Chains A and B, each alone.
Chain A
Amino acid sequence: MNSLPLLIEVGVEEIPDWMIGPALNELREGVEKMLAAERLGGKLRLADATPRRLALIFDDVLERQPDADELVMGPPKSAAQKNGAWTPAATGFAKKNGVEVDALHFETTPKGEYLAVRKKIEGWWSKYVLAEKLPAIILGIHWPKTMYWAGKDGPRFIRPIRWLVTVLDWNVVEYEIAGVRTGVMSQPHRRFNPSRISISAENYVEQLREWGVLISTEERKEQIVTGIRQLVAGTKLIPNVDDSLLHTLAYLTEWPTPIMGSFDQEFLTLPEEVLVTVMRHHQKYFSVSDAKGKLAPHFIAVMNIPGDPDGLVRHGNEKVLKARFNDARFFWDFDQKKKLADRVADLANVTFQAKLGSYLDKTNRMAALVRELGGNADAERAALLSKTDLTTEMVKEFTELQGVVGGLYAKAQGEPEAVGKAIYEHYKPVSMEDAIPATAEGRIVSLADKIDTLRGCFGIGLIPSGSKDPFALRRAAQGIIKILIEGKLPVGLSKLSNGDSALSDFLLDRVRYYFKDVRGFAYDEVNAVLAAGADDLGDAEQRLAAIQAVRPTADFEPLAASFKRIKNILKQAGFQFTGDVDPALLEPGPEQELHAAFNALRGVVGGMRERKDYRSALALIASLRPAVDKFFDKVLVNAPDENVRRNRLTLLANLLTEFSTIADFSEIVTSS
């Protein structure tokens, strides 16, 4: 049977850059699954996309499905045959499947014998199978936001589908979506508007290249990077190229070409943060630094055409940037007319959340929290001013610079350096990767801000569920945990959650996530340590490090297993811990030995624990293993004598309580 190449190109009006990658993956997976399910073979040769097209090429797609057998199950034997004769249920089943009753047989299954028929399924021409299956796969792609364009009842997609190419070898696979019929005609780059070009699986990449389209995203990225390298060759300029913007630009263009432009030196008097935000976020330019790492008066824009021989594009971009920088300067000058300190009262008019009041209310709560957390006067001042930049023109225009602008203004207005810095970084960390604020004041203000938000939202029932987290509470909680641990702040979690058990659980969940996914501790070690106390996170971190270090030693895991056993024994006995062991009741041998070992260790371990020398303490505890093993080997805990039994349980309970304060070993998942 013939194996053929299959080309699928879905032509769409410009898809938002950030959605293209996931959509292409989904389309590819959908088609691959369908080819497999339909027994059509097919080896993926190309899966790529630009803003205007999602493309797949498969080789070795069968021209026709191979024939196949299908086993159709019918009623159980008991219902199919009565006294050796076929029942109506059986004849009906045969009729439904278009066979005589003689063609039926019984199939043995785990549930018993069932009537069955083996049907031969004749393979069908692939082009018909594809025509039937592809529209649903294409329209089944999940988009974050869809539209309809061919009337209310028409299909929904990210943007209108304008052409469809589906060619198996040289034959068009015929189907239609929203009035667009498949064919061999595609569209070239928009600069050739409004031409149409014919494409084929054979020369797809080259045909597109000839018409101004680089289908390979990697190649587009490469072209941007290489182009930038050439632009700065022979200069001392360093382009600030980052993957995220590179990715965006590769998905905004079909033929990217970088160009370098300049701006007036005088704008360098504006803060770098503002300049970079304008360039990067608003204009999608790469900024450029000089050899010393300072911002240089240049930028790199990426065009969607091959060249700019007359400098028109460069000139246009330079003008736009100049206007944007002028705006920024206007905002800066305008904002200085009213100092941050004079804007605090204005915060009464800025709503934080309907039920939680204005930003002035929030500011007051934050200041109180800063005092409560032991912040100094600078930290309190910073808290007072931290939200005032929300009333500035600069932040209204560049919302992503909130905090940063406040910090810069504070500095320019003669506030103490620590105050400016704290305001500047009080939104940090904005992600798990982001660093915590560098200064003590910044940490305290950041904590106060996030705690206030969490307490407030939990207080009025705005608790995140599933993917719904409009106030980014998870991020806030994550920030708190990160600051407490990495900033080594001795603030207890219980103090933060203020008796709110939902909030306490929420924070604990984030602690778990932090230790496990960010710091890479094993989940059972995290559970063991947190079960023994999760209030002081710095302490928890030290205990975790100790467990991690001691765990590979020979005695540790077996001892952990024994602790689990002790816990179970006590639980099954419904034992309430009632005090000290009565040495007189101890049996000579393993029991007395265990008690002696316990007594010998408890003081030493206690001392180590006091000094937070958890590693030595754990090593010592682990050394109990032989004594514990021997005890379980030789001693019957459930002694017939009530008093002896109680005394034994007391010994075990003592052991468990005394040595579970660093970590609850019963949480350790042992390999044995």
Chain B
Amino acid sequence: MDTFQETVFKLKRYWSDRGCVIQEPYDVEVGAGTMCPETFLRVLGPQPYRVAYVQPSRRPADGRYGENPNRLYKHQQLQVILKPSPADILDQYLGSLEAIGIDLTKHDLKFEEDNWESPTLGAWGIGWQVMMDGLEITQFTYFQQCGGQDLDLVPAEITYGLERLVAFLQDAPSIYDVNWTPEVKYREVRLAEELQHSVYNFEVADIETLWALFGLHEKECQRLIELYKTYPDKHRFPVLSAYDQVLKCSNLFNLLDARGAISVTERVGVIGRVRRLAVGVAGLWVDQNKPAEAEVAAQ
């Protein structure tokens, strides 16, 4: 039986063989692999791209102090983007399941409608949750819009929830019982992190500080979006740095939310603030990366 890391290796190898750049996790906190620039920005514009990477994803509200066998503050997503999506994309996806040892003739597979939407990113797509023996093992989405922009090439996004998937493959009673390596359990690698971050997110985080940080990152992002207009040499402009500020805001929003600091009434407003930043930066990115006119003429 494959270990956690062996399954990750196999999936990366599988998608590498299908032309994907194998990226490493992004180094700013994100709530989902979708938010990494490798997805959020790369799906914009007319350039084809294929990428796969593992992304540790932080969802403060989902923390359970390491006590719930199925829920985590931080889980690992294996994110695959194929832009544009090839016609045999689902066949390829099924092939990836076979590659990690799932016999499709012995397991029950269903594609159940599940459209994805992220109000904070101005993004949505159409797709399914893929159910294996009653367990959701993958979210599959055809992106339609990102940062408020219709996408030129429709990418397929495949997101494997690695903990669930491997717990299923290893038939482990709890995520914490998953063998990360033959000798080391998931518990030993991650339990302390789950506990301590849950304590911080739910009990200790200083709400005022979080709000202040949110404000600072928001301001910096707005400043950059404004600066772009007059910046002379557009290709040098730090759009990617501006996007990091969006991610910071998004994570701070999630922290404040988990801490119970945002009332339902305020919620919509704060989501709108983050979305404005995301949409603004997406616009800059598209502008910065639009093919030079000479290139367009040559096509």
Taking Cβ atoms with an 8 Å cutoff, the residues of A that contact B are: 13-14, 16-17, 51, 145, 147-152, 159-160, 162, 179-180, 190-191, 193-194, 252-253, 283, 285, 301, 303-305, 308-310, 312-313, 315-317, 319-321, 323, 326-327, 330, 349-351, 354, 358
Contact = CB atoms under 8 A, between A and B. Distances in A.
B94 A14 contact: no
B285 to A, nearest CB: 18
B106 A310 contact: yes
Contact of B112 (A252, A303, A315, A330): A252
Interface string B114-146: 010000000001101000111100000010100
Nearest to B132: A316
Chain A CB count within 10 A is highest, among B69, B106, B133, for B133
Given A317-B134, A327-B71, 9 more contacts: A145-B115, A151-B152, A152-B151, A159-B126, A160-B87, A193-B91, A303-B108, A312-B107, A313-B107
A431 B91 CA distance: 42
Interface residues of B, number: 42
B200 to A, nearest CB: 19
Contact of A304 (B70, B87, B110, B264): B110
B85 A149 contact: yes
A320 B109 contact: no
Nearest to B156: A149
Contacts of A14: 110-111, 113, 128
B134 A301 contact: yes
B144 A147 contact: yes
A13 B128 CA distance: 10
B154 A148 contact: yes
Contacts of A252: 110, 112
A152 B134 contact: no
B104 A193 contact: yes
Contact of A313 (B133, B152, B153, B154): B133
A151 B68 contact: no
A190 B109 contact: yes
15 contacts: A14-B113, A148-B154, A149-B142, A151-B152, A159-B126, A160-B142, A193-B95, A194-B94, A301-B108, A309-B106, A316-B108, A316-B133, A316-B134, A326-B69, A330-B68
B88 interface: yes
B144 A304 contact: no
Contacts of B69: 323, 326
A349 B264 contact: yes
Closest 4 CB pairs of A and B: A316-B133, A16-B113, A14-B111, A303-B108
Contacts, number: 115
Contacts of B106: 305, 308-310, 312-313
B134 A151 contact: no
Contacts of A358: 265
Contacts of B87: 160, 162, 179-180
B115 A190 contact: no
B107 to A, nearest CB: 6
Contacts of A190: 90, 94, 104, 109
Contacts of A317: 133-134
B96 to A, nearest CB: 11
B84 interface: yes
Nearest to A330: B68
A283 B134 contact: yes
B105 interface: yes
Interface of B: 68-71, 84-85, 87-88, 90-91, 94-95, 104-113, 115, 125-126, 128, 132-135, 142, 144, 150-154, 168, 171, 263-265
Nearest to A178: B87
A152 B109 contact: no
Nearest to A51: B111
A450 B92 CA distance: 51
Nearest to A321: B134
Contacts of B152: 151-152
A49 B68 CA distance: 41
A327 B68 contact: yes
A622 B70 CA distance: 74
Contacts of B150: 152
A316 B170 CA distance: 11
Chain B CB count within 10 A is highest, among A253, A305, A320, for A320
Nearest to A161: B87
A147 B111 CA distance: 17
A150 B87 CA distance: 9
A235 B152 CA distance: 58
A149 to B, nearest CB: 5
B133 A320 contact: yes
B47 to A, nearest CB: 13
Contact of A151 (B84, B90, B107): B84
A317 B251 CA distance: 34
A246 B28 CA distance: 46
Nearest to B71: A327
B91 A194 contact: yes
A148 B88 contact: no
Contacts of B171: 315, 319
A323 B94 CA distance: 25
A210 to B, nearest CB: 15
B267 to A, nearest CB: 9
A51 B130 CA distance: 14
A327 B85 CA distance: 36
Contacts of A351: 263-265
B81 to A, nearest CB: 15
B135 A320 contact: yes
B126 A147 contact: yes
A263 B91 CA distance: 34
A13 B133 contact: no
Nearest to A13: B90
Nearest to B102: A312
Given A148-B154, A151-B153, A316-B168, A191 B105 contact: yes
B263 A349 contact: yes
A133 to B, nearest CB: 25
Chain B CB count within 10 A is highest, among A51, A312, A358, for A312
Contacts of B154: 147-151
Nearest to A358: B265
A14 B263 CA distance: 39
A211 B88 CA distance: 19
Nearest to B152: A152
Contacts of A326: 68-70
A634 B159 CA distance: 89
A190 B109 CA distance: 9
A194 B88 contact: yes
Nearest to B113: A16
Chain A CB count within 10 A is highest, among B68, B108, B113, for B108
Contacts of B126: 145, 147, 159
B109 A304 contact: yes
A448 B129 CA distance: 39
B264 A350 contact: yes
A231 to B, nearest CB: 16
B104 A316 contact: no
Chain A CB count within 10 A is highest, among B110, B144, B154, for B110
Contacts of A194: 88, 91, 94-95
Contacts of A179: 87
Nearest to A299: B134
A159 B89 CA distance: 13
A301 B263 CA distance: 40
A354 B268 CA distance: 11
A14 B131 CA distance: 13
A460 to B, nearest CB: 16
Contacts of B105: 191, 305
A134 to B, nearest CB: 20
Nearest to B90: A13
Contacts of A283: 134
A155 to B, nearest CB: 12
Contacts of B85: 149, 160
Chain B CB count within 10 A is highest, among A149, A194, A349, A350, for A149
A388 to B, nearest CB: 15
A305 B94 contact: no
